[in-house]
Amino acid sequence: MTNAQNDVLVLGDIEFSSRLFTGTGKFASRDLITPMLEASGSQMITVALRRVDSSEKGDNILNYIPKTVTLLPNTSGARTAQEAVRIARIAREAGCGNFIKIEVITDMQYLLPDNHETLLATEILAKEGFVVLPYMMPDITVTKQLYNAGAAAVMPLGSPIGTNRGLEMKPMIKMIIETSKIPVVVDAGIGRPSQAAEAMEMGADAVLVNTAIATAADPVLAGKAFSYAVKAGRMAYLSSLAETKMQASASSPLTGFLRD
Amino acid sequence: MQINLNGKNMESNCRTLMDLVIEQQLDTMSLVAELNFKIIKQAEWNDTLIKEGDTIELLSFVGGG
């Protein structure tokens, strides 16, 4: 029997029992973040770094995130490895741990990540002791290179950020899951709990969902729905479901009463 | 004196980085300062003098995915 009870994901020196990572972007009100975290059970949440806006006095986003939840600052806005490194160092100086989601984007139409710059930034930041989670275009070779560079996990996109289109990159992600030596977190594009479950069934180690939860009419309920989906998908993966078949196979006896 | 704060040129009479943060009435939780692209630790803000032409960035966390 597979023990799903002690099934934890270890990143850096932290054990995550929830495999649903969430984000703080796009919420209609920051007041929704705390109840969403409670309802979803998510233990890691992304934040971004920006110049302070003195008009937002006293409304620090950190006030809405319980201390038990690990912060995953991202490097959004970075277009080069050097910019990502600069943002990461600033984020660490903010005193909320050493996790960093590297996000280097030069394609402003589809917001697809630049794997080359992402790899360069990973090499630098992993050496500096960061727990590096690079957001990446699904690519097996780059996955190996990111592993060699010291990434703690890889975060291939399911589909472009904020599109809710699900696992358009499914065949590539599947290959990454099969071959990666580090955890695979499917990030971006997951729009429905069924898509999150699908990623987990395939063997993804976790999923990161922001837009789908934050922009639902009821983000707290959506967070809960995603939580169940991720758990169901994970359990299905651990249960090693049987393969699909072309021919039917009866679930009940067809003989022994009306027929011999 | 003229400084550049968060991308904007402005006049300032603040002597130290801490004076500037106080003048701007900023929440210091998770606030990070860069002076001429070098991170200055919060503990050093009191002793960090601002001079004419300095470029200062004050950053903190916001919502993001």
Per-residue pLDDT of chain B (65 residues; tens, 9 = 90+): 999 999 999 999 999 999 999 998 888 888 999 999 999 999 999 999 999 999 999 999 999 99
Active-site residue among A57, A101, A170, A245? A101
Q: Kindly state whether residue B34 falls inside one of the protein's structural domains.
A: yes
Q: Kindly state whether residue A259 falls inside one of the protein's structural domains.
A: no
Query: Maximum distance among all alpha carbons in chain A?
Result: 83
Q: Kindly state whether residue A257 falls inside one of the protein's structural domains.
A: no
Q: How many domains does chain B fold into?
A: 1
- What residues contact A247, with CB distance under 8 A and at least 6 apart? none
Chain-chain contact of B63 with A26 (C-beta, under 8 angstroms): yes
The enclosing domain of A129 has a CATH number of 3.20.20.70
| Host domain of residue A28 | 19-53+60-238
| Host domain of residue B10 | 2-41+51-59
Cβ–Cβ < 8 Å for A11, A218: no
**Is the four-CA dihedral A64, A69, A75, A76 of positive or negative sign?**
negative
Q: Specify the pairing of strand B55-63 against strand B32-35.
A: antiparallel
Nearest to A183 by CA among A196, A194, A195, A173: A173
State the smallest CA–CA distance between residue B39 and chain A in angstroms.
7
Q: Kindly state whether residue A249 falls inside one of the protein's structural domains.
A: no
**Is the four-CA dihedral A154, A160, A166, A169 of positive or negative sign?**
negative
Cβ–Cβ < 8 Å for A60, A83: no
Q: Kindly state whether residue B12 falls inside one of the protein's structural domains.
A: yes
With beta carbons under 8 A apart, name residues in chain A contacting B40.
none
Q: Closest residue of B to A93, CA-based?
A: B32
With beta carbons under 8 A apart, name residues in chain A contacting B59.
49-52, 90, 94
Q: Does B44 touch chain A (CB under 8 A)?
A: no
Q: Closest residue of B to A29, CA-based?
A: B63
How far apart are alpha carbons A133 and A103 in whole angstroms? 9
Please determine, for residue A106, whether its predicted confidence score (pLDDT) is greater than 70.
yes
Quote the mean pLDDT of chain A. 94
Backbone angles phi, psi at B46, to 5 degrees: -65, -30
Q: State ipTM.
A: 0.91
Residues belonging to chain A with any Cβ–Cβ distance to chain B shorter than 8 Å: 23-27, 30, 46-52, 54, 57-58, 60-62, 71, 73-74, 76, 86, 89-91, 93-96, 161-162, 188, 208, 210-211, 214
Give mean pLDDT, residues A196-222.
97
The confidence score (pLDDT) of residue B38 equals 94
Apex CA A52: angle with CA A50 and CA A54, to 5°? 155
Cα separation values, A114 from A111, A177, A179, Å: 9, 20, 21
The enclosing domain of B23 has a CATH number of 3.10.20.30
Please determine, for residue A59, whether its predicted confidence score (pLDDT) is greater than 90.
no
Mutate to test the interface with B, among A62, A63, A93, A157 (most CBs of B within 10 A): A93
Cβ–Cβ < 8 Å for A213, A36: yes
Tokens of B3: 């400084």
Q: Does the active-site annotation cover A101? A: yes
Q: Closest residue of A to B65, CA-based?
A: A23
Please determine, for residue A54, whether its predicted confidence score (pLDDT) is greater than 80.
no
Burial bucket for residue B7 (CB in 10 Å: 0-12, 13-18, 19+)? exposed
Give mean pLDDT, residues A66-88.
96
How far apart are alpha carbons A109 and A5 in whole angstroms? 43
Q: How many domains does chain A fold into?
A: 1
The confidence score (pLDDT) of residue A56 equals 65
Chain-chain contact of B26 with A54 (C-beta, under 8 angstroms): yes
Apex CA B55: angle with CA B53 and CA B59, to 5°? 155
Q: How many CA atoms lie within 13 A of A81 on its CB side?
A: 12
Q: Kindly state whether residue A231 falls inside one of the protein's structural domains.
A: yes
**Is the four-CA dihedral A54, A213, A239, A172 of positive or negative sign?**
negative
Q: Closest residue of B to A77, CA-based?
A: B64
Q: Kindly state whether residue A5 falls inside one of the protein's structural domains.
A: no
Tokens of B24: 């701007």
The confidence score (pLDDT) of residue A104 equals 97
Element (DSSP H or E) covering residue A44: strand A44-51
Element (DSSP H or E) covering residue B60: strand B55-63
How far apart are alpha carbons A73 and A164 in whole angstroms? 22
Q: Kindly state whether residue B64 falls inside one of the protein's structural domains.
A: no
Please report, for chain A, how many H helices and E strands are present, in that order. Answer: 8, 10
